[in-house]
Amino acid sequence: MLESLRDPAELKGLSVAELAELSQEIRDFLVAKVSRTGGHLGPNLGVVELTLSLHRTFQSPKDLILFDTGHQSYVHKIVTGRADQFDSLRQRGGLAGYPSRSESVHDVIENSHASTALSWGDGISRGFAMTGQDDRHVVVVVGDGALTGGMSWEALNNIATAGERKLVIVVNDNERSYSPTIGGLASHLATLRLTQGYERFLDWGKEVLQKTPVVGTPIFETLHGVKKGIKDVIAPQGMFEDLGLKYIGPIDGHDIAAMDKALEQAKEFGEPVLVHVITEKGRGYSPAIADEAEKFHAVGIVNPETGLPKNKSAISWTDTFASEIVEIGKDREDIVAITAAMLGPTGLDKFQEAFPSRTIDVGIAEQHAVTSAAGLAYTGLHPIVAVYSTFLNRAFDQLLLDVALHGAGVTFVLDRSGITGDDGPSHHGIWDLALTGIVPTLEVAAPRDGARLRQALREAVKVNDRPTLIRFPKGAVQADIPAFETRDGIDILYRGESADVLVISVGAMAAIAVEAASQAYLEGVGVTVVDPRWVKPLPQSLITMAQRYKGVVVLEDGIRHGGIASSLSEMFRDARLEIAIHSIGVPLEFIEHSKRGEILEDLGITSQQIAREIVEWSSTSIPMQFPERESADRKPSR
C-alpha cells in the first residue's frame, strides 16, 4: 500500500483494516530507512496513526499542519509523496530531517526549535481570518514536552481569547521530549492520562490534589481550582478550559477511528480547540520500547533488528565534558548542573547519576534555565548550564541582563557549536561567538581538544564574580594537540622558520590550522599557529605578537560577521596597529544539511585550501593585502 500512496487525499477512502496494514508498513519502512541514515526514529514511530488521521480529516496543503520542532514529521513526509526519497534522509542534497519549504508545499515551519508552533498557528489562523480565507484550517501538533516551554503558554494565552477562527491544537502526549518530561505540567498531564471520569477518582481525589504540582500560579491558580471543588481540579478539561480553550480527550492516538471522530468534532467547532492525544513513543519497535531513557528519540546508523549501533563510537566532546564535570562535582559541593530537557544529549546524565540532588532539569525552557542559574549563583552556588549552542540563542536576553549584568558566576557549556551537519540550518551552532562577543563581563573559551576542555572547565568554575562560557563541536574529540610553548597565556602550536603569516586558531580548528601550516612550509612560507584558548576577551599580547608578521589569519567555525576576527580587528584598531587581518569562517548564510566535513569543504575550510591561499597571499606585496575570500564550487545556501 505504501508504494502506491502518492497523495494524502488517498487516505480518506481506506478501510480500518487497510489503515492498520498501512500503519504497519510505515513503521517497518521507518525502521528500515532510519536505521541506515540515522535520524529521529522514536517520535515518528509514535505518530503514525495520528498523522494518518490528520491527513484524513484535513485537506493539506489548503489546511496547514504545523509540527512543533518538526522531528515528528517523517510520516507526514511519507504520506505527502516523499517516501521514495528516504534513502537520502539527512544526506547531502537529500531529504531534510525537519519540514522544508523547498521540498513540499505541505511543509510550513522549518525551525527545529521547540515551543514555537503555537505562535505560528496563532499568527497564521489570525491572518486567515483577517484576509477572508475562512475556509482554511490550521492544525498545530505540539508535544507535551514542548508545553514546558514558556512561549507555548504565551501563545495559548492569546489563542484562548481569539474568538472565531479555525485553529485545532493537537497535544501529542507521549510523556517525553528528549528525556522524560519535567515539571508540574507533566504531572498534570499524567493525571489526565489516568483519568477516565470524576466518580472513578473521587475516593482518592484528595491524594491527587496533594501530589499534583502547580503549573505556574499566574495561569493555573490552585486556590481557584480548590474553590471550584475537587472535580474541576482532576477533570481532564479543567486545566485547559480554565484558559478558555475547548478540550477534547484524552484520545487514544493509535485508534484511527477515535482520532477521526475527535478531529472532525474539532474541525467543525469554528473556534480554537485542543485535542489531547495519548501516544507511545517508539511504538511497534521493541528496541525503542526497551530504551527507557529516550525511546530512541534520535539514532545514528544502527542494526534494524537490535537497534544497536553498527560502528563503535569514538569518545566524543560530550563524553569528555560528562566525565570531567563529575570529577569536578566530587571536589566542589557548590557545583549545580542545569539542563533544558536534554540530560543525555548534553552529557549531564552522568552528573545526575552521581549527584541527583544537584541536577536540575527545567524542561524545554532555556530562558528560565539561565535566569534561574543567576538566582542560584546569588546564593553562593556555581551553576553549570549545559545546552546546545543553537538553543542558547533563545536565552540571549537572560544571558545579557540577568547573568552578565549582575556578574553572576554561571558557567555555560555549549555543545554542538560550529557546523553541526545533518540536522540542518536551525541546528548549526555558528552564532554563539558573535552573540557572546557583545556581552560585557562574559569570558569565552574555545578548547581545541579534550585536555584543553578539561582545563577550561576547571578554570571556569573558579570564577564566581562573572559568567564564563565554554564551546565545543559535535562528534568525536580529536587527539590532543600539545603546545610546544606558551607565551603570555597563548599556546604556540606550530612555528615556521620565517615570520610570514600568523594563524590564530579558534577551538577545534586547531588540527586544520596546524596541517595547513605544515603544507605551507613545504612551499617555503613560514606560518606560526597559535591558540589563545580563551577568545573573549582576546589577550592583549596578541598585539605585540602580530607585529612580527606580514599578515594575520583568523580561523574559526562561527560566522565571520561579528566573530573573533572582528574582535581582533577592533583590538588592532584601538592599538593603532595597521596589519592585514583575514577571516576564514562561516559566511552569513543559512547553511543546508550535510555532513560536517562536506560543509567545511564547501566553505573552503580545509587544510589544503587554506594552505594554498596562504601561499598565494604570501607572494603579494608587503604588507599582505588579502582579497575577499570566496570558496570555489560552494553548495548553494539560502
CA dist 300 and 110 (Å) reads 22
Q: Is 317-471 CATH 3.40.50.970? A: yes
Query: What local confidence, expressed as pLDDT, does residue 72 receive?
Result: 85
In this structure, the number of other CB atoms found within 10 A of the CB of residue 482 comes to 10
332 catalytic residue (yes or no): no
pTM: 0.80
Name the catalytic one among 366, 443, 556, 592.
366
Each domain of the chain, given as residue ranges in start order, spans 2-195+236-290, 317-471, 485-618
Q: Is the distance from CB of 553 to CB of 504 less than 8 angstroms?
A: yes
Query: What local confidence, expressed as pLDDT, does residue 151 receive?
Result: 86
Query: What local confidence, expressed as pLDDT, does residue 205 receive?
Result: 37
Query: What local confidence, expressed as pLDDT, does residue 291 receive?
Result: 58
Reported as a single tens digit per residue, the pLDDT across 361-402 is: 988 889 999 999 999 999 999 999 999 999 999 999 999 999
Residues of the chain with pLDDT under 70: 112, 175-239, 284-312, 620-638
The three three-digit cell numbers of residue 63, written as one number: 489546511
Query: What local confidence, expressed as pLDDT, does residue 258 receive?
Result: 92
Reported as a single tens digit per residue, the pLDDT across 504-532 is: 999 999 999 999 999 999 999 999 999 99
Query: What local confidence, expressed as pLDDT, does residue 182 receive?
Result: 46
Query: What local confidence, expressed as pLDDT, does residue 238 receive?
Result: 63
366 catalytic residue (yes or no): yes
Distances from the Cα of 103 to the Cα of 134, 230, 262, angstroms: 26, 50, 30
Query: What local confidence, expressed as pLDDT, does residue 379 receive?
Result: 94
CA dist 430 and 414 (Å) reads 11
Query: What local confidence, expressed as pLDDT, does residue 308 receive?
Result: 63
- CATH number for 485-618 (one of 3.40.1030.10, 3.40.50.1000, 3.40.50.920, 1.10.760.10): it is 3.40.50.920
Element (H, E) at 385: strand 382-388
The three three-digit cell numbers of residue 628, written as one number: 575577499
Q: In the sheet where 167-173 sits, what is the strand order?
A: 64-67, 138-143, 167-173, 273-278, 246-252
Domains 2-195+236-290 and 317-471 share a fold: yes
Q: Which fold has domain 2-195+236-290?
A: Rossmann fold (3.40.50)
Name the catalytic one among 33, 77, 281, 452.
281
Query: What local confidence, expressed as pLDDT, does residue 416 receive?
Result: 94
Query: What local confidence, expressed as pLDDT, does residue 167 receive?
Result: 93
The three three-digit cell numbers of residue 310, written as one number: 553498527
